[in-house]
Amino acid sequence: MHSTKELFNTPYGFAPFSKINPGDYLPLIKNEIENAKNEVDRITSNTEAPTFENTIAAMDYAGEFLDRITSMFFNLNSAETNEEIQKLAREVSPLLAEFGNDIRLNKELFKRIETVYHQRENLDLNTEQQTLLEKRYKSFARNGAALPEEKQKQLRDIDKQLSSLSLKFGENVLAETNKFELHLTDEKDISGLPEGAIEAARNLAESKDREGWLFTLDYPSFLPFMTYADNRELRKKMLLASGSKAFHGDDLDNRDIVLKIARLRFERANLLGYKTHAHFVLEERMAETPQKVNDFLNELLEKAKPAAQKEFEQLQEFAREQDGIDQLQKWDGAYYTEKLKQKLFDLDDEKLKPYFKLENVINGAFTVANRLYDLNFEEVHDIDKYHEEVKTYKVTDNEGKLVALFYGDFFPRPGKRNGAWMTPYKSQYIKNGVNERPHISIVCNFTKPTKTRPSLLTFNEVTTLFHEFGHALHGMLANTTYPSLSGTSVYWDFVELPSQVLENWCYEKEALQLFAKHYETGEDLPMEFIQKIKDSSSFMEGIQTLRQLSFGLLDMSWHGVDPTSITDVKENEMKTFAVTSLYPETPETCMSTAFSHIFQGGYSSGYYSYKWAEVLDADAFELFKEKGIFNKEVANKFKDNVLSKGGTENPMILYKRFRGQEPKPDALLRRAGLLEKVS
């Protein structure tokens, strides 16, 4: 087996997927953990007095290949997993948790960091160096470096348990998603469904040697079914299956795992001197405290709730008129929302889809990036990938210099979890005068091409692609010295700004005309459709806002309190949702048991970030609107102060440098149409 360093000796240093078998990952990771430990030993055994360079900077460059091999491995576990990879992940995660603690609880290392930290006033450090020093010191102080040995041992034990539990949580959700199938053979059961959804379901059934049509809980199958299927009972069946993932009282049930994770996080926070997990997390966020987050969520709730209730009554009235339905249920929401949208705006996702062929939308995102930031994308075929569907691109500037490598993985597969995400395979940083360029990947779950038509995206999928591509730009345009401050390594409630701001281009005529062309005729998306997209963009925004706020409040109900008295997951959820719920309660469903963002991903105490970043993005986009959505001066300001800066400075300082002022929620309320709706 080659060393990791040799494996990465590839053109551009790309991730060597083809050279690594699943079984190779464990020995490679173990080896890189040892190498990283040796690098740390060299820092701690250095006989020279601690300096910024020999301690803080040296720490940041340590463990490069460990980062790279683990980013490959964990993306595989999300995007192309199997039993072998899942089993390995269960072995790898505790090892990495243990290694993280070996570093953070290393007394000699902390002593050196502390020494440099206490001399910081006299060191003549630039802003990025000051940020790195403070971040490094805090990451040790906040994670138990000053704890007595007995408590450090407790901390290690908690971290080991947490890493295993969150993995198990994710495995259960994936298994539950894959387990459910709705197999239909009667034509009347697929009434209302668009041709594309029917064909995809037929193809799936054929691939499993079955007659008729097969629907699953993967989003490209589930969402069209919930939006268009006329059969109310079948919509109910799908909704309850989706809403009850890991809530069946069997060995895939996540209730105990949720309670354990919440309690262990609370215990960990207490051990480190914090009141709750949220107090610990939010100390390093723009929001700063749970109080601020709750105030923020409740202020928006106050503004959105009257609008949401009004919208819900309108929807209920429409369903009554249409089909005599006296009480709207959760499985009716998407269906009647779509019908009402068609009636009010004469806008149907199915009419739009032919104008959003995936390849055209990808090129549209590339063109927008070119017009704003002078980036050029060229598809290349000499870069390793983990699945044949992945597309790979070389990204250059106008002088032909390499900016980044970019990977796109767009379709659902059995080994891939739902949702969409961005991940770096290599961070950007500058070392020994060389600006190492990043390798960035986005993973999505879009409607697959069928035998008769290409992948045609819903408008929602178009905005998802732009969202993830916004994260990718944040990674690709990074230009910092130290890897841990590069790209998306920013405060969690700032990280969604670049992604959410880019979604705005999807609603602008000037941008849509670049890529929204009919896949058969090549004609541009008609002007009246563009106007309708714009007019309908705030349709049911009150209900949508309430939904997002309910998730943020649920997150805080697990992490902003002492959860030890919570014994019933469902009961806690119902109590939390009481202020936001519009539909009757469904006892069969539970959100928490499949809430991967907070129990598997990094969003614990951070789900509010989506709304927080919406305030930032609406405020930021108003400047683009004012000066022109492709205005170079504004684009450069955004690139120079936000996209390229990573986490090198406090995000509010960066934002104000771009915008000239602090963000105000008015822009978001205006865009969402909530000001008019409640007045």
Contacts of 615 (CB under 8 A, 6+ apart): 663, 664, 665, 667, 668
CA 214 vs CA 84, 172, 202, 238, 518: distances in Å: 27, 22, 6, 12, 28
Amino acid at 216: T
Diameter over CA atoms, the chain: 82
SS3 content of the chain, % helix, strand, coil (to 5): 60, 5, 30
Cα→Cα distances 80→22, 93, 409, 417, Å: 11, 17, 10, 9
187-190 own/partner pairs: CB under 8 Å, 24+ apart: 188/231, 189/229, 189/231, 189/234, 190/229
The residues, any chain, with a CB within 8 Å of residue 38's CB and separated by 6 or more, are none
Distance CA(574)–CA(590), nearest Å, equals: 9
46: exposed, middle or buried (C-beta count within 10 Å: 0-12, 13-18, 19+)? middle
- Marked catalytic residue, from 80, 176, 311, 468: 468
Contact between 191 and 233 under an 8 Å Cβ cutoff? The reply is: no
Angstrom distances, CA of residue 9 to CA of 6, 14, 65, 402 = 5, 8, 12, 17
The 3-state DSSP class for residue 458 equals coil
What letter does residue 327 receive in the DSSP assignment? S
Contact of 444 with 420, CB cutoff 8 Å? yes
Backbone angles phi, psi at 507, to 5 degrees: -105, 0
Work out the burial of residue 655: count CB atoms within 10 Å of its CB; fewer than 13 is exposed, 13-18 middle, 19 or more buried: buried
Q: Is 468 a catalytic residue?
A: yes
Q: What is the 3-state secondary structure (H, E, C) of 380-427?
A: CCCCCCCCCCCEEEEEECCCCCEEEEEEEECCCCCCCCCCCEEEEEEC
Catalytic residues: 468
